[in-house]
Amino acid sequence: MLKHLAILSLILVVLFGTTYAIWYFAFPLDHLDYLANHGIAIYGWVVKKDPENHAAVTYSYVVDNVRYSGTGGSGRGNPRFDQLQQGDQVVVFYDPNNPADSFLGYPQYQTDLDRSFAKMAAGMIAVFMFIPIAGVYIGILQAIKSKKSKLGQANSSE
């Protein structure tokens, strides 16, 4: 019985790990991790707010006398959308190897949130995949046990 429990536990761990890995690379977590660890923080400013486009904030910033722009969400160390005004100063992280690549706010806020969501989603998906697999596995074990039992009864009656 312990052997079967270990096999089922291993299946659950593999399902969770695989699902989490897929989730991690399906979303830009690795990119945000890079910006959180290697990006350079700079102050930019709000150019435009777009409440009709998921409360998007267009921002600009300057690196080596070159102006760059991006669009992102508010918060993450910056004020909420309703508190921002055009011209307000905001924190921006950019890639030192590619200054046009940026993130509005502190990327680690987003990576922490995304990583928590990925773990929760991976756990739920793994459990929902695990239940039918475990059911099939237990059904096979019961069929084998039943067949052995019938063979044992047939051999003892001879």
CA distance 4 to 52: 54
* 37 vs 109, residue with greater confidence: 37
Over residues 72-94, mean pLDDT: 93
Q: Is 72 left (phi over 0), alpha (psi -120 to 50) or beta?
A: beta
Structure-block tokens of residue 134: 């475990």
Asked if 93 and 61 count as a contact pair (C-beta separation under 8 A), the reply is: no
Domain extents in the chain = 2-27+114-151, 29-111
Is 105 a residue whose pLDDT tops 90?
A: yes
| 64: confidence class by pLDDT, cuts 50, 70, 90 | very high
Greatest mean pLDDT range, 33-37, 46-50, 140-144: 46-50
Three-state DSSP class for residue 96 = coil
> Would you identify the CATH topology of the domain 29-111?
OB fold (Dihydrolipoamide Acetyltransferase, E2P) (2.40.50)
**Nearest partner of 44 among 66, 29, 25, judged by Cα:** 66
Structure-block tokens of residue 70: 């991006």
CA distance 118 to 158: 59
Three-state DSSP class for residue 77 = coil
Is 108 a residue whose pLDDT tops 60?
A: yes
| pTM exceeds 0.85 for this model | no
Structure-block tokens of residue 24: 């991690």
Over residues 64-68, mean pLDDT: 97
Over residues 37-53, mean pLDDT: 95
What end-to-end distance do the CA atoms of the chain give, in Å?
A: 30
